[in-house]
Amino acid sequence: MKFEAPVAVTEIAAFIGAELVGNSQLMATGLNEIHKVTPGDISFVDFEKYYNASLQSAATIIIINKKVECPEGKALLVLEDPFSAYVKLVNRFRPFEPASKAVSDSAVIGEGTIVQPNVFIGNHVRIGRNCLIHPNVTIYDHAVIGDNVIIHAGTVLGADAFYFKKRADREVIYDKLVSCGRVIIEDDVEIGAGCTIDKGVSGDTIIGRGTKLDNMIHIGHGTVIGKNCLIAAQVGIAGKAHIEDNVILWGQVGVNKDLTIGKGAVVLAQSGVPSSLEGGKVYFGYPAEVASEKRRELGWVKRIPEIWDKVKSL
Q: Among all residues, which ones are annotated catalytic?
A: 221
Contact 271, 284 (CB under 8 A): yes
**Would you count residue 265 as binding a copy of itself (CB under 8 A)?**
no
**Would you count residue 177 as binding a copy of itself (CB under 8 A)?**
no
- Of the candidate residues 17, 112, 274, 280, the single one contacting a copy of itself (CB under 8 A): 274
| 3-state SS, residue 43 | strand
The residue range among 18-26, 44-52, 57-65, 268-276 that interacts with a copy of itself, by the rule CB under 8 A, is: 268-276
- Of the candidate residues 82, 200, 210, 222, the single one contacting a copy of itself (CB under 8 A): 210
**Would you count residue 233 as binding a copy of itself (CB under 8 A)?**
yes
CB-based contacts of 100: which residues, under 8 Å, 6+ apart?
Answer: none
**Would you count residue 254 as binding a copy of itself (CB under 8 A)?**
yes
**Would you count residue 28 as binding a copy of itself (CB under 8 A)?**
no
Residue 31 Cβ vs a copy of itself, minimum distance, rounded to whole Å: 21
The residue range among 38-46, 56-64, 65-73, 301-309 that interacts with a copy of itself, by the rule CB under 8 A, is: 301-309
φ/ψ region of 216 (left if φ > 0, alpha if ψ in -120 to 50, else beta) reads left
Binding mask 94-133 for a copy of itself (x = CB under 8 A): --x-xx-xx-----------x-xxx-x-----------x-
Q: Is the dihedral of CA 144, 158, 42, 51 positive or negative?
A: negative
Binding mask 58-77 for a copy of itself (x = CB under 8 A): --------------------
For the chain, first and last CA: distance in Å? Answer: 69
- Of the candidate residues 194, 200, 226, 264, the single one contacting a copy of itself (CB under 8 A): 194
**Would you count residue 176 as binding a copy of itself (CB under 8 A)?**
yes
- Cis peptide upstream of residue 39 (ω within 30 degrees of 0): no
- Of the candidate residues 10, 84, 196, 276, the single one contacting a copy of itself (CB under 8 A): 196
Neighbouring C-beta atoms of residue 53, cutoff 10 Å: 11
Order of strands across the sheet with 150-151?
114-115, 132-133, 150-151, 190-191, 212-213, 230-231, 248-249, 266-267, 282-284, 289-290
Residue 242 Cβ vs a copy of itself, minimum distance, rounded to whole Å: 17
Site for a copy of itself in 153-172 (CB under 8 A): 153-156, 159-160, 162, 164, 171-172
* E strand or H helix that includes residue 5: strand 2-8
Residue 233 Cβ vs a copy of itself, minimum distance, rounded to whole Å: 5
Order of strands across the sheet with 2-8?
2-8, 27-31, 41-45, 61-64, 75-78, 19-22
Number of residues binding to a copy of itself, judged by CB under 8 A: 78
